[in-house]
Amino acid sequence: MADKRDGQPGQDPATQNIPETQSGTGLFSHYRNGHFFCELTNSDGTPDPQIDLIRSRLDALPLNDLRNRARQAEQELYNLGITFTVYSERDAIDRILPFDLVPRILTQAEWRHVDAGVKQRVRALNMFLWDIYHDQKILNDGIIPRDLVVGNPNYCPAMIGLDVPGGTYVHVSGTDLVRDDSGRFLVLEDNARTPSGVSYVIENRHTTLRVMPDIASGIDLMPVDEYGVHLQNALAELAPGGVDDPQVVLLSPGIYNSAYFEHVFLAREMGVPLVEGRDLVTENDRVYMRTTAGLRPVHSIYRRLNDDFLDPEAFDPTSMLGVPGLVEAYRKGNVTIANAIGTGVADDKAVYAYMPRIIRYYLAEEPILSNVETHICAEPEGLAYTLANLNNLVVKPVGESGGYGLIIGPHATKEELAEFRTKLEADPSNYISQPVISLSVSPTLCEDGLEPRHVDLRPFAVTGKSTWVLPGGLSRVALRRGSLVVNSSQGGGSKDTWVIAQ
């Protein structure tokens, strides 16, 4: 080991956030995380012997060795087809999601906090959805503006009065978390429609353990392999009543969808057929799949298709991906759909601003995970504040995902800000704004060795009759120096997330 002192980074809380100076020639000798919270070296402030061990093992690796392992990992991901496919006119190009082999590490205490916070949020989301599609108490009590909910394009009138099994609307959720300078977890957004990325959590673990066996040796990690079993159980236990051995399927848009790999992965982990819309038919408001032996009943559908495409009879009549009659079968209670239709209203970026109030309203508890302070431009004071502080804020369109259409004030040029100001003034209700969070960083293999890169965390929760959270989650990393955008469509990659079991 290069330096004995590496074992106790940050023992003096006062020096915790200033660049560490280290002697030695190890991989960390040039690593400087500045004022950002470092996921590895700072942890939660108290020294953890296992994290110290991981760090000193990493530190002792020759850079070339680490690069070779990274190449090996990439080759493997490519050969195994853990890829998304980009179709051009004549060709299909497979790309891997960039992978960084240095794991992001959470202590057991950190994880317990996240786990409890995510469960609390999912409970509140489900109660909120039930309420807005039934009695609308929260609207009647004036906690959240009625128009924001009922006038929301994602509010689905077909769901009004429908009693979904177990009261569960959001069976699978992904909560996007970031950490600020002090290491505090903040919720950036909820994903309550069809959140993706969980396959990478599990594949990243397999890849990391294959290429970094010496780093992981003897470290007690919480397992990630049980996701498929939990998801299958949740779907089976919420199948329509009176079915002994429910048939669960995963509904995918098919091989041309960029997340097809994940659909395959999940179908395999759940042990259920992956179906496309054309594999399903409805007869007498029941759903069947076409098999070699004729039609076979289907009871629970984990769908990876947006609401609009689910059923051409109920929604977009031009959709060829869905199943005609599916929504009617759903409304008759003959099939369970996960996630439920119409959950998009709950993860809307404008509704997000009200989440702390939603949690207090239904659960009479304080939120365990805080929101990022959010200004709603639909409201006059929110718009005024945003316009006055544009160069210090992140402004996001409420209807977009994937990091599209947003502006990061401090990183934008004068021209970009002026242009954005015009767009914002033209359609204020389409935007929210938030302060720029100094996202935490994680040591990442870059051109010049290990460097700090910003990361976020998306834990995945599965809810049947109760909620289970996959330990860890997807750590996305912004690979460009200084970049805060972790989305894969914007040059982001991912890392394995280790939760120390203790």
Partner 1 sequence: MTTTVDPIATVPLPLLSRYAECTMWLARYMERIENLARIIDVTETFVRSGASDGWRAIVQINADEERFFATHDAATARSVITFYTIDTENPTSIVSLAHAARENARSLRPVISTEMWSQLNIFTKFIRSLNREDIRPSEISQLCARIKQDCQTHTGITEGTFYRDQASIFYNAGRHLERADQITRLIDIKYHTLLPSEAGVGSEVDISQWSAVLRSAAGYHAYRRVMTADIRPSSIVGFLLKSEAFPRSLSTNLRHLHGNLTQLRRDYNLRGASRIVGRVEHLRNILDQQTATEIIVRGLHEFNDWIQSELQDIQREIANVFWPAPGLAAIDAKISQPEPVTGQTQSQS
Instruction: Tokens for 119, please give them.
Output: 């469960």
For 144, 308, 381, the CA distances from 147, given in Å and listed in that order, are 9, 21, 18
CB 441 within 8 A of CB 447: no
Which of residues 21, 88, 292, 413 is near partner 1 by CB under 8 A? 292
> Which residues are within 8 A (CB) of 94 and not within 5 positions of it... i.e. 6 or more apart?
78, 81, 83, 84, 85, 86
In the complex, what is the shortest distance from the CB of residue 283 to partner 1, in angstroms, rounded to a whole number? 9
Assess 45 for contact with partner 1 (CB under 8 A): no
> Which residues are within 8 A (CB) of 473 and not within 5 positions of it... i.e. 6 or more apart?
114, 174, 177, 201, 457, 458, 459, 460, 497
Helix (H, G, I), strand (E, B), or coil: what is residue 131? helix
Assess 276 for contact with partner 1 (CB under 8 A): yes
Assess 95 for contact with partner 1 (CB under 8 A): no
Which of residues 25, 291, 391, 502 is near partner 1 by CB under 8 A? 291
β-partners of residue 500 are 221
β-partners of residue 477 are 455, 493
Looking at the Cβ atoms of 35 and 90, the one nearer to partner 1 is 90
Assess 100 for contact with partner 1 (CB under 8 A): no
Binding mask 307-346 for partner 1 (x = CB under 8 A): -------------xx--x----------------------
In the complex, what is the shortest distance from the CB of residue 144 to partner 1, in angstroms, rounded to a whole number? 39
Looking at the Cβ atoms of 288 and 362, the one nearer to partner 1 is 288
In the complex, what is the shortest distance from the CB of residue 198 to partner 1, in angstroms, rounded to a whole number? 16
Instruction: Tokens for 96, please give them.
Output: 């891997």
Please tell me the distance from the alpha carbon of residue 266 to that of residue 502, in angstroms, as a whole number.
Answer: 29
Please tell me the distance from the alpha carbon of residue 435 to that of residue 475, in angstroms, as a whole number.
Answer: 22
CB 310 within 8 A of CB 341: yes
Instruction: Give the DSSP letter string of 39-95.
Output: TTTTTTSS--HHHHHHHHHHHTS-HHHHHHHHHHHHHHHHHTT-EEEEE-SS-EEEE
Binding mask 238-257 for partner 1 (x = CB under 8 A): ----------------xxx-
Which of residues 158, 289, 387, 417 is near partner 1 by CB under 8 A? 289
For 6, 38, 203, 425, the CA distances from 170, given in Å and listed in that order, are 44, 32, 24, 34
Interactions with partner 1, residue window 119-178 (CB under 8 A): none
Which of residues 172, 186, 275, 287 is near partner 1 by CB under 8 A? 275
Assess 24 for contact with partner 1 (CB under 8 A): no
Number of residues engaging partner 1 in binding (CB under 8 A): 29
Looking at the Cβ atoms of 321 and 424, the one nearer to partner 1 is 321
Assess 90 for contact with partner 1 (CB under 8 A): yes
In the complex, what is the shortest distance from the CB of residue 154 to partner 1, in angstroms, rounded to a whole number? 25
10 Å Cβ neighbour count for 271?
A: 10
Looking at the Cβ atoms of 54 and 321, the one nearer to partner 1 is 321
In the chain, the amino acid numbered 245 is D
Instruction: Give the DSSP letter string of 450-499.
Output: EEEEEEEEE-EEEESSSEEE-SS-EEEEE-STT-----GGGTEEEEEEEE
* Span from 138-146, 277-285, 303-311, 404-412 in contact with partner 1 (CB under 8 A): 277-285
Instruction: Tokens for 116, please give them.
Output: 């409890």
Q: Going by DSSP bridges, is the β-strand pair 431-435/375-376 parallel, antiparallel, or unpaired? A: antiparallel
- Smallest CA-to-CA distance from 100 within 488, 438, 500, 437 is with 488
For 49, 110, 145, 227, 285, the CA distances from 333, given in Å and listed in that order, are 53, 40, 31, 26, 9
In the complex, what is the shortest distance from the CB of residue 166 to partner 1, in angstroms, rounded to a whole number? 22
In the complex, what is the shortest distance from the CB of residue 203 to partner 1, in angstroms, rounded to a whole number? 11
Assess 284 for contact with partner 1 (CB under 8 A): no
Which of residues 281, 363, 387, 417 is near partner 1 by CB under 8 A? 281
In the complex, what is the shortest distance from the CB of residue 87 to partner 1, in angstroms, rounded to a whole number? 11
* Span from 152-160, 276-284, 362-370, 410-418 in contact with partner 1 (CB under 8 A): 276-284
Assess 21 for contact with partner 1 (CB under 8 A): no
Residue 186 φ then ψ, to 5°: -130, 145
Assess 71 for contact with partner 1 (CB under 8 A): no
Assess 279 for contact with partner 1 (CB under 8 A): yes
Which of residues 80, 86, 388, 501 is near partner 1 by CB under 8 A? 80
Looking at the Cβ atoms of 267 and 407, the one nearer to partner 1 is 267
Cis peptide bond N-terminal to 339, omega within 30: yes
In the complex, what is the shortest distance from the CB of residue 100 to partner 1, in angstroms, rounded to a whole number? 23
In the complex, what is the shortest distance from the CB of residue 476 to partner 1, in angstroms, rounded to a whole number? 25
Assess 77 for contact with partner 1 (CB under 8 A): no
Binding mask 192-231 for partner 1 (x = CB under 8 A): ----------------------------------------
Assess 413 for contact with partner 1 (CB under 8 A): no
Contacts with partner 1, residue ranges (CB under 8 A): 79-81, 90, 94, 254-256, 260, 264, 267-268, 273-279, 281, 289-293, 296, 320-321, 324
